[in-house]
Amino acid sequence: MMLIIPAIDLKEGKCVRLRQGRAAEMTVFSDDPVAMGLKWQAAGARWLHVVDLDGAFSGSPQNLAAIRALRQALQIPLELGGGLRTLGTIRAYLDLGLDRLILGTVVLKDPDLAARACAAFPGQIAFGLDAKNGRLAVEGWTETSRRTLLEVAKSLEPLRPAALIYTDIARDGVKTGVNIPATRALAEAVQLPVIASGGISSLTDIKALLPLEAVGVVGVITGRALYDGSLDLAEAIKLAQKD
């Protein structure tokens, strides 16, 4: 069954969504991330995806209080990305009880750290591959690399991360639908679980993703569509269970 994973993006302790990763285009959906997390848990979520947006831009953890509160309040597994640039930070978050951490910028900027993290914490490290026109972007999506999504994904395969989380930045927060061809190409190129992210607008997008389960797409992360009501989480989970 494909996982439908709700997202909570944290900025200054609030639950927000950005449009295509641009801090200037931010919508605040809640001042209470814990209440939002409990809502998604009650709707049937089996994982929660959390992003420290301030951390992603600054390179160090910035929303520790909110993240700790989410971990203490929820029973379901939590994965976190944003500002994870040292082994010490990674260890501290795992000690806090987070279940999986997502490394993004360090994949390109510090590949040795990515390798050491996977070796030290097997099954608890995922890699976030965020792409603009097929090329990776880092530092909170403010820098675009010359390296392609598939090139980097294949180079990471020997590290055996828990998953690759692929976001098409052009579609993130704008509800234009998931990039199905690129998601399929990634899943077919590597022998690793793939989680799709960015662009979900309705149950139609969930339905379009379900056939990719056969090639290794194990889940999809969704944010804005849940918050503005165009996607009902319980309905999406029910649809995925039927597959």
Q: What is the pLDDT of residue 243?
A: 56
Can you tell me the mean pLDDT for 28-50?
Answer: 93
More confident residue, 106 or 48: 48
Q: Which residues make Cβ contacts (< 8 Å) with residue 24, sequence separation at least 6?
A: none
- pLDDT bin (cut points 50, 70, 90) of residue 137 is confident
Q: Which of 184, 186, 200, 190 is nearest to 235 (CA)?
A: 200
Is the overall model pTM greater than 0.75, yes or no?
A: yes
- pLDDT bin (cut points 50, 70, 90) of residue 176 is low
State the Cα–Cα distance between residues 153 and 142, nearest whole angstrom: 20
Say if residue 223's pLDDT is above 60: yes
State the Cα–Cα distance between residues 209 and 151, nearest whole angstrom: 23
* E-strand stretches of the chain: 3-11, 14-19, 22-30, 48-52, 78-81, 100-103, 125-132, 135-138, 143-148, 164-168, 194-197, 217-222
User: Contact 135/144 with Cβ under 8 angstroms?
Assistant: yes
Catalytically active residues are 9, 130
- pLDDT bin (cut points 50, 70, 90) of residue 224 is confident
List domains and CATH numbers for the chain: 3-242 (3.20.20.70)
Q: What is the pLDDT of residue 127?
A: 97
Average pLDDT score over the chain: 89
State the Cα–Cα distance between residues 6 and 225, nearest whole angstrom: 10
User: Contact 79/71 with Cβ under 8 angstroms?
Assistant: no
Q: What is the pLDDT of residue 168?
A: 85
Q: Name the maximum alpha-carbon separation found in the chain.
A: 42
Specify the 3-state DSSP secondary structure of 163. Answer: coil
